[in-house]
Chain A
Amino acid sequence: MNKMKFKDKINIDLLIYIAIIVVSVIVLMYLDMNKFEYNYAISIIEKSLVYAVVALSMNIVTGFTGLFSLGQAGFMALGAYTTAILTIPVAARPNVYYMNGILPALENVVVPIPVALILGGLVAALFAALIGIPVLKLKSDYLAIATLGFSEIIRAVIASPMMDKITNGSYGLKSIPGFKSSIECFVFSLVCIVLMILIINSSTGRDFKAVREDEIAARSVGINIFKTKQLSFIVSSFFTGVGGGLLAMFMRSIDSKTFQITLTYDILLIVVLGGIGSITGSIVGAFFVTAGKEILRFFDEPLVIAGTEVPLFKPGFRMVIFSILLMVVVLFFRKGLLGGKELSVKVFKKHSRKKNEDNVSEGGKE
């Protein structure tokens, strides 16, 4: 591909992107105006957007840095709880903490939603920094188990009676202010996604990829392996935390059970189906999986053809389909739906490069 053509491609891509955003905004505005007509569609879109943020953040650490982390649910829980605690209207708090009361220091603390989301992200990032020091020294599969373990520890602590006055322990939080409109959700998610794309395509992002491709080679060109891994882990956790906050806003009521290992697996499903190391893959994957789960709802309902019930159709069937889909992708299309490629990312790059980075291999190495 010569330079000329590449530049043309950039412009086209940029146009496509802007077009997609404009069209999305128009469609969402239309949906918002007819909220009660389309609320089901709106809720699926909102959920997809939230999952897109979390999936992309997982992709930063798993796909772009080659660290297999399974701690997503824990970091989401941190972000979600922080956001929720700081945004539940003061008037509603006695109702929410009906059993044990709320810590006096937190009683009247309310911050604007964007601030709460950022704080949620920061709390998650802080924990990631602490956890990262011991954990990131571990080899790939030990890392997976250790992060998974930490996520379980975080969940256990949130639900523990000692935290009753802060997290409301076993009783969960409700009355969390939701999105006022789907545009609000879209804007929050878009900001996160654009920031993540900028990071991935910055020199820091290139360090991530260098570490993923070959640690020894990366070290020899002066990249501090441990610091790079740590940075990737912290950045990823920050956005996972923000994503958790968005999830809390989407759900409006949360409890510790929401953040079990299955949540991490759901995110992993999105990342793998979309393609490990593909930004657009994670985004399209989030929509594909979330919408797919809803569209396939009929698989869970009894199907009657000509008076006889088809025995295959009963509750749980669609999750079996998704599991099989996951296995098929892992075994036969190892690069995911988008084949590890981007729909188009180059837009955000200042400098075009000859090597087409689309074709970098997926994470991990032997």
Chain B
Amino acid sequence: MANENPKLAAMQAARLAGKKAIRSYARKLADPEDIKDLNITPMMDMMTIILVFLLKSFTSSATLVNMDQNLSLPPSQTRLAAKQAVPVTITKRVLLVEGEAVAPITNGRIDPQLKRDGDNGYYITPLVEMLSKVARREKKVAEVTGQKFDGELTIIADRNTPYRLLTEILYSCGQAEYANFRLLVLKSRE
């Protein structure tokens, strides 16, 4: 008995120590001291909202103009904000409608062969044809949406464009039923 009691006591002590070690290990597993993964879901929500907001404000800008050495807008003190309309761009080298090249410009003049009445004419044939197509499309859209076709154009012209060329282009626009123009300018408070 005297030999058994110390053995029993030792076994009990070993069992208790074993259980203690297992409990301690279980606690360690259940409650890790260092954070393994940061919860980034709220941050993702926030970022997605910012992204949607920025995309919306970026795309709702009425007109996006890529200014370079061939297209430099003149400054103006106007307070009217740019509005969405069919853009006609006059650079130093080319005339564009909705970003599509219509006629080349050389030294501030359109090639006389592209004008119905020759060198002194105002009627730029490819411009009228192109704008007539656009006008037909706009009218269909206006009809479907129940709005009125307002015949408005945004003129994006280089600051050195001569008035003669501008007049020829505005006259041709008028021939395609566009009579109201919004001259796009850089806002300044000089």
Q: Do A and B come from one complex?
A: no
* A interface residue numbers (CB < 8 A to B): none
Q: Which residues of B contact A (CB under 8 A)?
A: none
